[in-house]
Amino acid sequence: MINVKKWVGILALLVVFIFTGSAFTRPFLSGKAAVMPVYGTSPAEGSLAGGSPGNANGPSYRESDMMHGESGIPGRKPALLHRETGKVPDSVLSKRHFLEVYKVLMSPRCMNCHPSGDAPLQGEDSHIHTMGVQRGLDGRGLYALKCTNCHQPQNTPGLHMPPGNPKWKLPPSYMKMVFQGKTPRQLAAQLLDKTQNGGKNKAQLIDHVTHDMLVASGWNPGEGRALPPLTHKEFARQFKLWLDKGGYLPD
Amino acid sequence: MASITLTVNKKKYTIEADPQMPLLWAIRDIVGLKGTKFGCGMAQCGACTVHLDGEAVRSCVTLVGRAEGQEIVTIEGISDDNSHPLQKAWIEFQVPQCGYCQSGQIMSAAVLLRENPHPTDRDIDEAMMGNLCRCGTYTRIRKAIHRAAEIMNA
């Protein structure tokens, strides 16, 4: 009987050790943080360059991306912060914020100038631009049909008259920045890829969506055109939150 | 109203006009050059096409304030004596029917030939699709542009 109790006790200890051992032993063996969370899908800056898709659940944060920050609460362990943003990553919230951003990017006011083909789109139904307008090498049109031949530096007054902006153009042919037809995951990855986003890092992306006058013109589309589903201010806020929370790719 | 100096066909004109006035009306009603036509008034038809610093802008939506200090060329200024290859080809093929859109057609074609001296049919179609012709002279326009390219490259 004594031997049976002894072996049951040893077995129970083994079971406990097997299921919890790595978490207990890791800090002692590696000298790293007691809890290293696994952050679902987050590309490190530029990590998607070259088109690496990550695994099915997306790449995890590398430990080198993280740093310890002040928890601000006595007795609590230091928080793990993303080294670049200084923010606490949160995959669920980050993805949720991008889905708000996505609604705006796929609205006609944004997508019509980010077509999958080489012709801009028009209207609430995003039909191909009349007159056979083409992108051209620099995104400014071709021959007698260059964008600014009709699109002035400002909106032309009147219902459905040509909208305007001093920077009016499509993305160039060597970097088309296509929105049309992209899933949330594909578009998020493209936005973070410096080879497809004009070489912008996260801070520059946030500045672009917040301050670029061509982006802002989506909220001043001229008479007869619907606004994007969020205000520009809320769009920029959601975009920043997406990146501050880790810039995760939606599933 | 403001005093605005325009350079039209290499000649300077100082006009009194609202800077918000469409360039078309300054050209036609103030400068007095009637070759440029009003069609739709919303940049859809191309009848009002003139060159602004070499680009084929729609003068019905281009504000006169934007044109100040830039070189404007109208159909009257494309040559001094109807000797531009496009004008020669247009006469050779008797392109116009009613003629209303033709000054805009020629101004657009001139930009095409400047940027592409050997245009294909497709190039011509892509360049000229923004210039409408209710008489349907498109096939003659295409032939004449090819002929003008030949004259230019001879």
Give φ, ψ of B33 to 5 degrees. Answer: -95, 110
Whether residue B62 is contained in a domain is answered as: yes
**ipTM of the complex as predicted:** 0.95
Give φ, ψ of B79 to 5 degrees. Answer: -155, 165
Find which of B20, B44, B49, B133 to mutate to test the A interface (most A CBs within 10 Å of its CB): B44
Whether residue B47 is contained in a domain is answered as: yes
Q: Are residues B93 and B59 in the same domain?
A: no
Residue A148: closest C-alpha in chain B: B57
Tell me if A161 and B43 make a contact (CB, 8 A cut-off).
yes
Closest-CA distance of chain A to residue B61, Å:
7
Whether residue B79 is contained in a domain is answered as: no
One digit per residue, the tens of pLDDT, for chain B of length 154 reads 899 999 999 999 999 999 999 999 999 999 999 999 999 999 999 999 999 999 999 999 999 999 999 999 999 999 999 999 999 999 999 999 999 999 999 999 999 999 999 999 999 999 999 999 999 999 999 999 999 999 999 9
Find which of A122, A134, A150, A168 to mutate to test the B interface (most B CBs within 10 Å of its CB): A150
Amino acid A35 reads V
Closest-CA distance of chain A to residue B14, Å:
23
pLDDT of amino acid A5: 74
User: What per-residue string of b and e applies to B76-99 under the rule 16 or more CB within 10 Å gives b?
Assistant: bbbeeeeebbbbbbbeebebbeee
Whether residue B91 is contained in a domain is answered as: yes
State how many domains chain B has: 2
For the range A60-65, what are the long-range contacts, defined as Cβ-Cβ under 8 Å and sequence gap of 24 or more? A61/A89, A61/A246, A63/A32, A63/A36
Amino acid A3 reads N
Q: Are residues B68 and B95 in the same domain?
A: no
Q: Are residues B6 and B67 in the same domain?
A: yes
Q: Are residues B40 and B90 in the same domain?
A: no
Instruction: Sketch the domain layout of chain A as residue ranges.
Output: 2-90, 93-244
Residue after which a domain boundary falls, among B48, B74, B100: B74
CATH number for the domain spanning B125: value is: 1.10.150.120
What is the value of pTM for the model shown?
0.80
Q: Are residues B91 and B66 in the same domain?
A: no
Q: Are residues B113 and B137 in the same domain?
A: yes
Q: How far apart are CA B142 and CA B152, in angstroms?
A: 15
Smallest CA-to-CA distance from A102 within A201, A218, A242 is with: A242
pLDDT in tens, A195-237: 999 999 999 999 999 999 999 999 999 999 999 999 999 999 9
Q: Are residues B17 and B69 in the same domain?
A: yes
CB of B93 closer than 8 Å to CB of B147: yes
Q: Are residues B70 and B89 in the same domain?
A: no
Closest-CA distance of chain B to residue A144, Å:
5
Q: Which domain holds residue B61?
A: 2-74
Give φ, ψ of B71 to 5 degrees. Answer: -85, 120
